[in-house]
Amino acid sequence: MDAIECLKSRRSIRKFKKQQIPREIILEILECGRWAPSGVNYQPWKIFIVTNPEFKKKLAKCTNYSKIINNCPSVFLIYLDKTIEYSYTKQVQSIGAFFENFLLSIHAMGLGGVWIGEILNQKDEVDKLLDINDPKLEFMGAIALGYPEEIGKSFRKPLDSFVSWI
């Protein structure tokens, strides 16, 4: 798939096959994630990969999207590592770039996933589950990953609703 087609055809996937994801595929996805751009190339991400069903059940209680978490084979918990002091905005933007690289790479590989932000209001609970007690680490969101069972529809606003030529 070429890059343009990949980014236009990517959709959030919320229903997954039972099939597990081989470790080498997970490593290749992370490899694509780590090539995301970041401010001053600080690469401020830290990733926790959850495949254990019991752990996933506990994690699922932290979001209204518990069904997605329980039914996908793997969940990636994306943290911002603030050890290096730098613009908070640019650090968060770098994490966004990581998310997007991740989502595009899984689509290109025939997998699917969804960015789950509706877990951040229980970020303290997520920290507790991971036994994280470090103010330098901030939870930024999750990605549920798997082989797509169903591909949803989406839409975009027309260009002229948000673009101005100066």
Ligand X SMILES: Cc1cc2nc3c(=O)[nH]c(=O)nc-3n(C[C@H](O)[C@H](O)[C@H](O)COP(=O)(O)O)c2cc1C
Binding site for ligand X (CB under 6 A): 11-12, 14, 65, 114-118, 152, 154
Q: Which residue's CB comes closest to ligand X?
A: 117
How far apart are alpha carbons 144 and 18 in whole angstroms?
13
Tokens 């905005």, residue located? 89
**What residues does 158 pair with on adjacent strands?**
none
> Whose Cβ is closer to ligand X: residue 116's or residue 132's?
116
Contact 142, 75 (CB under 8 A): yes
What is the phi/psi pair of residue 28, to 5°? Answer: -65, -35
Taking the complex as a whole, the smallest distance from the CB of residue 57 to ligand X amounts, in Å, to: 18
Taking the complex as a whole, the smallest distance from the CB of residue 165 to ligand X amounts, in Å, to: 26
Tokens 């995301």, residue located? 36
Taking the complex as a whole, the smallest distance from the CB of residue 39 to ligand X amounts, in Å, to: 18
> Whose Cβ is closer to ligand X: residue 23's or residue 67's?
67
